Amino acid sequence: MTNTEIISNLLTRQDTWRGRNRRLPRSTICTGHKDLNALLQGGWPASALIELMPQQLGIGELSLLLPTLKNHSHNGHLCLWLDPPYQPYAPSLSAAGIALDKLIIVRSKNIKEWLWVAEQSIRNGALLLAWVRQQPARYTQLRKLQLAAAESNSSAFIFSPIAALSAPSPATLRLKLDSQYIHQLQITLCKLRGRVAGAKLQLNLQQYPSQRTALNQLPTGRHRTYSDSAMLASQNSPLHN
């Protein structure tokens, strides 16, 4: 390889820092949320490792990725979920427009397998969603995945526990996710090249009717069971008349 070739190879990589030139044309993937696109300067960085750190599970961290997942699966690409914390609920995924036959769930037995699967998935162009479960992934391990992502065409999303926030990470983009109000996801930018960390964004998630109810105000009394209604129906049926 000649010198110019090496340099041009280096320059095409996402993770090469290029001095003051902050307005680099980068390839991005649309997030499906207008405000978030603006925050991330176009969308999720392509060919990069993205680390998401939710304060807690269940605040809407997966809904954030639903538009991305939908686009990806409709282009015929595979999406791999590595060690999800719970079982994905197929009816709601299907209702969100995700092709279920493009979804694979993989359970790893140890961190070695976890890393191997993650790397294979990235290198084979699948969209990776990986949950760090067993033990916090170390810098060198994540660095390996970041390198794999930089060499391939795909993005990889890693869900780390909030405790990982204090540790350094090689990921191109790091976001902290928490929620102050219900149905509102607060996104805090922790790291993105060309942006100052600390920018915040409130994102409205899917709206459900929301009026809070205390338990003692709930409709009480035993609901009519099937056997009751069956008895009622038999009493009213024309056969008995």
Residues 50-89 that bind other proteins (CB under 8 A): 55-63, 75-78, 80, 84-89
Residue 109, φ and ψ in degrees, nearest 5: -95, -30
Q: How far is the CB of 187 from other proteins (least distance, A)?
A: 13
Using the minimum distance from each CB to other proteins, give the nearer residue, 41 or 55: 55
Pick from 158, 153, 124: nearest CA to 143: 158
Options 3-11, 38-46, 168-176, 201-209: segment touching other proteins (CB under 8 A): 201-209
- Check residue 47 and report its DSSP letter: S
Q: Does 233 bind other proteins (CB under 8 A)?
A: no
Among 11, 38, 162, 182, binds other proteins (CB under 8 A): 182
Q: What span, in angstroms and rounded, lies between the C-alpha atoms of 169 and 142?
A: 7
Task: Check if the beta carbon of residue 31 is closer than 8 Å to that of residue 151.
Answer: no
Neighbours of 153 (CB within 10 A): 12
Exposed, middle or buried by CB within 10 Å (0-12, 13-18, 19+), for 178? middle
Q: Does 127 bind other proteins (CB under 8 A)?
A: no
Helix (H) or strand (E) holding 186: strand 184-192
Q: How far is the CB of 22 from other proteins (least distance, A)?
A: 33
Residue 120, φ and ψ in degrees, nearest 5: -60, -40
Q: Does 41 bind other proteins (CB under 8 A)?
A: no
Task: Check if the beta carbon of residue 185 is closer than 8 Å to that of residue 179.
Answer: yes
Q: Does 94 bind other proteins (CB under 8 A)?
A: yes
Q: How far is the CB of 43 from other proteins (least distance, A)?
A: 20
Read off the tokens for 132. Answer: 């760090």
Site size toward other proteins (CB under 8 A) is: 69
Residues 97-126 that bind other proteins (CB under 8 A): 99-109, 113, 116-117, 120-121, 124-126
Q: Does 232 bind other proteins (CB under 8 A)?
A: no
* Chain residues in the site for other proteins (CB under 8 A): 55-63, 75-78, 80, 84-95, 99-109, 113, 116-117, 120-121, 124-126, 178-184, 206, 208-216, 218-219, 222-223, 225-227
